[in-house]
Amino acid sequence: MPQNNPPLNPAGETTPKGATGESGSSEVQRLRIQVRRLERLVEAGKALNATLDLGDLFGVILSIVTEQTGAERASLFLLDAQRQELWSLVAQGLGRVEIRLPAGKGLAGSVAQSGETLHIQDAYADSRFDRSVDMASGYRTRNLLVAPVRDKEGRITGVIQLLNKAGEGFGQDDIDFLHDISVPAAIALDNARLHQESLVRQRLEKDLQLARTIQRSLLPEQPPQVNGFEIAVRYEASQQVGGDYYDFIRLSTDTLMVVVADVEGKGTASAMVMSNVQATLHTLARHVHSLEGILFNLNERVIESTRSGKYMTMFLGLIDVPRRGLHYINAGHVAPLLVSESGVTPLKEGSSVVGLLPGARYRRGHVKLAPGDIVVACTDGITEAAGSSEEEYGGERLGREVWTRRAQSASSIVDEIFTEIQEYSRNATHPDDKILMALKVQ
């Protein structure tokens, strides 16, 4: 019968009978453990990269760590560094709820600050353990493993908390696994967060574009044709929706109401106030037969409907076409300019802004217009346009530029000055809405 030969050692010699080979066995065991850890990480990485939904990713991470460690429950907290808070979108076993706590509070907060992994055999024996969640849910926490989640630069981005492992509790293998999965989890969470922020930005931009479109639709498409007058207007919106507003309301063949207004502030609230003012003003113009009455009623209605304290400046003009007269009220607005051959006159007669003082009374001004005269009105986006030296364009400069162009048409004056202001303020960091309107008597 063939005989069994003893195995060869690395030098090619036989290993004597009775040799245990313990060092070889331990090396094989170590390699098996490493292979197993790599296999677990590969499988975990596949699961982590399977979704960009932040809520789903919370659930994936918690499922992975509970399955691999044998924990009954797990919680994942992310660190909000700006607010110095930990927040959890998912607490497994309690459903999807958001929990926020100050960084530094409780075991998770302690780990977020220190970066140390905590292995606690008796949760209630540790003074840092917050029992309030147990008390609210009826659950009893026995042992815990709490570890930081670090990104590839080593920064702490969150905390994983494992609860209640049966038998002897959590061991070194569980600690090693949490450390191994930390960076892949942090990368996946960061990718999901960036994806979520991108979706939010896209929705906001879409909503903002719709709001700008709606706001623009409330403004007249073009100036009306009025016998003996040439009217031109140009409007430029900033990146946000806002409260700049102009309008032409034909009251009869002989009268035209002209409006230039600016609601305080920017954003959706100002745009909504502007749309409300436009509807209210059109209604009042049909039923109230004086400028003073229109503004009085408009002021009361704005105060009543805008409890947030929104107010506006407004120039309200009434053109008497046959007599070439302009009746007007300036309610705290940038003073329109009457530009004639003899010079420039600001139109200031009026009273306080609209929507601020209940019972406010408004005074009417009147000017007689001659052929060649130009009335130019604007919002503060024109006069406050800032150049490279931070010096504002200003009303005086506007008056001079219109006066030097008084022989030109109204549309030519508006286009040239608007282009000049755009160039003047091209480096402005916070552009404003701009309205520039010119009425020239023929």
The pLDDT of residue 33 = 57
Distance CA 378, CA 234 (A): 10
* 381 within 8 A of 435, measured Cβ to Cβ: yes
Cα angle: 435, vertex 441, 442; to 5 degrees: 130
Both 320 and 432 in one domain: the answer is: yes
Are 181 and 237 found together in one domain?
A: no
Of 197, 226, 252, the domain-final residue: 197
| Whole-number pLDDT of residue 158 | 87
Look at residue 353 in the predicted model and tell me its pLDDT.
94
Collapsing DSSP to helix, strand or coil, 19 comes out as coil
Q: Is 24 a domain residue?
A: no
- Give a yes or no: residue 409 inside a domain: yes
Maximum pairwise Cα distance, the chain: 134
In eight-state DSSP terms, residue 353 is P
**Do 420 and 348 share a structural domain?**
yes
How many CB atoms neighbour CB 153 within 10 A? 8
Q: Select from 163, 197, 231 the last residue of a domain.
A: 197
* Same domain, residue pair 161 and 278: no
**How many CA atoms within 13 Å lie on the side-chain side of 202?**
6
Which CATH number characterizes residue 408's domain?
3.60.40.10
238 and 330 share a domain?
A: yes
Residue 12 DSSP symbol: S
Say whether both 399 and 321 belong to one domain.
yes
Residue 243 to residues 130, 194, 314, 380, 394, Cα–Cα distance (Å): 50, 32, 11, 12, 21
**Could you tell me if 189 and 279 lie in one domain?**
no
| pLDDT of the residue at 11 | 41
- Inter-axis angle of helices 22-48 and 54-69, to 10 degrees? 160
Cα distance between residue 265 and residue 425, in whole Å: 20
Is 212 within the bounds of a domain?
A: no
Whether residues 185 and 260 share a domain: the answer is no
Q: Is residue 381 part of a domain?
A: yes
Does a structural domain hold residue 2?
Answer: no
Q: Could you tell me if residue 298 is inside a domain?
A: yes
Q: Which of 165, 197, 229 is the last residue before a domain boundary?
A: 197
Residue 16: per-residue pLDDT? 45
Query: How far apart (Å, rounded) are the C-alpha atoms in residues 185 and 59?
Result: 12
CB 334 within 8 A of CB 395: yes
Q: What is the pLDDT of residue 35?
A: 64
Whether 295 and 431 map to the same domain: the answer is: yes
Total tally of structural domains belonging to the chain: 2
pLDDT at position 17: 47
Same domain? For 185 and 228 the reply is: no
Query: Which secondary structure element, helix H or strand E, spans residue 222, and what is its range?
Result: none
Give the CATH number, domain containing residue 52: 3.30.450.40
What DSSP line would sit under 322-341, residue for residue? TTTEEEEEEEBPPPPEEEET
Instruction: DSSP letter for 385, please.
Output: -
- DSSP for 157-198, please give it: EEEEEEEEESTT---HHHHHHHHHHHHHHHHHHHHHHHHHHH
Domain span at 341: 218-441
Residue 204 lies in a domain: no
Task: Specify whether 145 is located in the same domain as 72.
Answer: yes
Q: Would you give the DSSP letter of residue 57?
A: H
Is 22 within the bounds of a domain? no
Q: What is the pLDDT along the chain (442 residues), one digit of tens a residue?
A: 444 444 434 344 444 444 445 566 777 766 665 666 666 666 666 667 767 777 788 888 888 888 888 898 888 888 888 888 888 764 445 455 667 778 778 888 889 888 899 999 998 999 888 888 788 878 899 999 999 998 888 889 889 999 999 888 898 888 888 888 888 888 888 888 888 888 888 887 777 777 677 777 778 989 999 999 999 999 987 766 777 899 999 999 999 999 999 988 777 778 888 888 999 999 999 899 899 999 999 999 999 887 657 899 999 999 999 999 999 999 999 999 999 999 999 999 998 999 999 999 999 999 999 999 999 999 999 999 987 677 899 999 999 999 999 999 999 999 999 999 988 888 776 678 899 999 999 9
Q: Is the pTM of this model over 0.85?
A: no
Work out the burial of residue 306: count CB atoms within 10 Å of its CB; fewer than 13 is exposed, 13-18 middle, 19 or more buried: buried
User: Residues 429, 311: one domain?
Assistant: yes
